[in-house]
Amino acid sequence: MPRIVESADVSPRAQVGTGSSVWHLSQVREDAQIGKNCVIGRGAYIGTGVEIGDNCKIQNYALVYEPAKLADGVFIGPAVVLTNDHNPRAVNIDGTVKDAHDWQPVGVTVEKGAAIGARAVCVAPITIGPWATIAAGAVVTRDVPAHALMAGVPARQIGWVGKAGHKLDPTDNKDIFKCPKTGTLYQIDNGLMKEVED
């Protein structure tokens, strides 16, 4: 059974997986799907139809707007925003207030194991590749490759990270990098970083 505290606002149409926790003042909208063993922190917002995999952490006051999709093992830091409107306006050109039928939401996709640091903003539509890391406060406006380390406004790549979350160290071979924590080797292959297979 999931643990949902009394002050959380979870739609009866949402699905929350076994072992997951939804904490104080969080809102989980209709048709959202939250996997197993996830943590939805205080004051977080999970939009209508958002899909969240297993073992994810959505920290306090993060805003995950539909139609975002998060794979397994994703970390969303405090006050992160995943946007959904590429051309935001409160009103139509005739001055009438926009409603749900007047715009088409676009989403952020976050692939397996990726981490997005506190107060980062990801401007949809983009994809964050598996095991990538977005530094705190970054503003991401384009797709991020697997294992990339991104920082700044707008975000730019400043290195590579391994599955353990540490910045990879270069080796004597310019295409081979090493994780300082685990010793795992990674290789750039056609511009993409991959773990070296035994």
Nearest to 32 by CA among 24, 60, 42, 56: 56
Tell me the C-alpha distance between 191 and 171, whole Å: 17
Residue 38 pLDDT > 90: yes
Query: pLDDT confidence of 197, banded at 50, 70, 90?
Result: confident
Predicted pLDDT of residue 173: 93
Predicted pLDDT of residue 166: 97
Tell me the C-alpha distance between 114 and 32, whole Å: 20
